Amino acid sequence: MSSNTKILTVIKHIDNNVNITDNLKNFNANVNEDYDFSSSDEEDVNMEEKDSDISDDEDELENKKLINQIISPGDLVIKSSEYMKGHNTYTTQEHFEKSNTTEDGNTKSGEEELNIYSSTLGVLSKINKLISVTNINKNLYQAEIGDHIIGQIVEVTSAKKWKLNINGNNLATLQLSSINLPGGLLRRKNEQDELNMKQLLKVGDLINCEVQGVHASGNDINLHTRSLKYGKLRNGALVKVKMGLIQRKKTHTHFFNNNSIKIILGCNGFIWVSYERAPIDSVTKDKGSESIKTDITRIEQDTSFEIYSDINDPNIDLKTRILISKYVIIIKILAFNNLVINEQRINSVYELILSYNRNSGGMPNNSGNSKDVLFLLNDPEVMKDIGYQLVQGEKMRG
């Protein structure tokens, strides 16, 4: 045992002649017990997840393999001068003058060795000669240019800026010049707009935006909403999930249920579920094709004023509200089971929920009301069960 060498007996028992080796054995046993306790806890969790398909010994072996992959802070990752340090690593430069220590003059004198250490709990990732450690617990959002994210306004500053909470360690800024103002795209911003800033976007508003620039090593983030697909959010609900459950993809807006439900998967772990009837609406408004120019400007004005309104659409009835909350619960189920959220999975969970309704319909104390069914889905065990079924279904398909 490696710990055997480290532990030395500390007390010299003068009165009692206790065996040193005996003492050591006891100490080791104590350490092992501690370790066994925690590992047995972990096994239980895994057993539940895998439902005892695999025998315990194989499970333990697998766990040990995985544990060996994890690097803890302070561990020496690599000792070489060839590699570069990436994220979550730090270096200490040690100057070895081997000619001083060894009398043989065959080694290079004054050789620089670069020790790369890890600074978080994570897994090693190596790209060519760049060494970095990827975090196991991804808590905070690290912005990259072009990310589609959702932010919440925290304050309106005097310097033509809004400050947004985007789940990072610093607040992001949205400048007045980088939003679409009501009254057309091409318009100069004047002082009146500056005074009206609080009317456009208030504290607490949710905004669908894109990262325009990242400065000062990811701590100074600029956003913009200069596109029709971005802007203020309404008619829906926000879900916050853990970082890492949403992966960067080409598109982050998805439509479900015959294009009636729109889900925006923000890169920063904020998800917006809303009701939208956009495609039909634009067709009905474009009736008069004769006086196009005036109409277009009018529509632009209407829509852009609509963009910043606070009032939800009055046409949303109870059915669509229930539909929205259904999709919210789907996302919650996926997040609860720590599964990566994407379009396919949301669809498959929706199907699972429909069949789950039927299953519970056979139960005696079910009134058949859809509200009750939604309430039933909020149960952690049901969530776990659905997640398990989903994983099994995905395994079957391969």
Partner 1 sequence: MSRFEFYNNDGLRIDGRRSNELKNFESSITTTSNFANFSRNTSTNTTYLQMGQNKVLVTINGPKEPTNRTKIDSNKATLSTNINISKFSKVNRNTNKSNLPDKQTLEWEYEITQLFSTIVVLETYPKSTISINVTVLQQDGGVLSAIINCITIALINNSIQIYDIITAVSIGIVDQKHFLLDLNHLEEQFLSSGTIATVGGGDQVSLLRIRDKFPLDLIEEFMQVGLQGCSVLKEIITKQVKDMNLNKLVEIQ
> Interaction with partner 1 in 266-305: which residues (CB under 8 A)?
none
Residue 99 lies near partner 1 (rule: CB under 8 A) = no
Pairing outcome for strands 130-135 and 84-85: parallel
Of 171 and 176, the one with the shorter C-beta distance to partner 1 is: 171
Of 4, 42, 189, 392, the one binding partner 1 by CB under 8 A: 42
Give the nearest distance from C-beta 73 to partner 1 in angstroms. Answer: 5
Give the nearest distance from C-beta 11 to partner 1 in angstroms. Answer: 4
Give the nearest distance from C-beta 138 to partner 1 in angstroms. Answer: 7
- CA distances to 215, 240, 370 from 180, in Å: 23, 26, 40
Residue 325 lies near partner 1 (rule: CB under 8 A) = no
Of 9, 115, 348, 370, the one binding partner 1 by CB under 8 A: 9
Residue 73 lies near partner 1 (rule: CB under 8 A) = yes
Of 139, 227, 294, 301, the one binding partner 1 by CB under 8 A: 139
Of 80, 107, 169, 312, the one binding partner 1 by CB under 8 A: 169
- CB within 8 A of 106, min separation 6: which ones? none
Contacts of partner 1 in 338-367 (CB under 8 A): 338, 340
Of 54, 78, 84, 121, the one binding partner 1 by CB under 8 A: 121
Pairwise CA distance, residues 110 & 339, whole Å: 51
Residue 216 lies near partner 1 (rule: CB under 8 A) = yes
Of 46 and 99, the one with the shorter C-beta distance to partner 1 is: 46
What is the distance of C-alpha 149 from the center of its chain? 11
Of 4, 52, 61, 90, the one binding partner 1 by CB under 8 A: 90
Of 245, 246, 324, 390, the one binding partner 1 by CB under 8 A: 245
Give the nearest distance from C-beta 187 to partner 1 in angstroms. Answer: 32
Contacts of partner 1 in 367-396 (CB under 8 A): 380
Give the nearest distance from C-beta 61 to partner 1 in angstroms. Answer: 13
Residue 244 lies near partner 1 (rule: CB under 8 A) = yes
DSSP assignment string, 166-210:
-SSSS-EEEEGGGSPPSS-SS----HHHHHTHHHHS-TT-EEEEE
Number of other residues whose CB lies within 10 A of the CB of residue 93: 9
Burial category of 292 from C-beta neighbours within 10 Å (exposed 0-12, middle 13-18, buried 19 and up) = exposed
Residue 63 lies near partner 1 (rule: CB under 8 A) = yes
Residue 204 lies near partner 1 (rule: CB under 8 A) = no
Q: Bridge partners of 151? A: 207
Going by C-alpha positions, the residue among 230, 183, 191, 234 that lies closest to residue 208 is: 230
Give the nearest distance from C-beta 317 to partner 1 in angstroms. Answer: 26
3-state secondary structure of 390: helix
Number of residues that bind partner 1 (CB under 8 A): 71
369, HSE (Cβ side, Cα atoms, 13 Å): 5
- CB within 8 A of 353, min separation 6: which ones? 326, 329, 330, 377, 386
Of 99, 135, 196, 342, the one binding partner 1 by CB under 8 A: 135
Residue 171 lies near partner 1 (rule: CB under 8 A) = yes
Residue 332 lies near partner 1 (rule: CB under 8 A) = yes
DSSP assignment string, 280-305:
HHHHHHT---SSHHHHHHHHHHHHHH
Amino acid letter, residue 158 = S
Looking at residue 140, what DSSP letter applies?
Answer: S
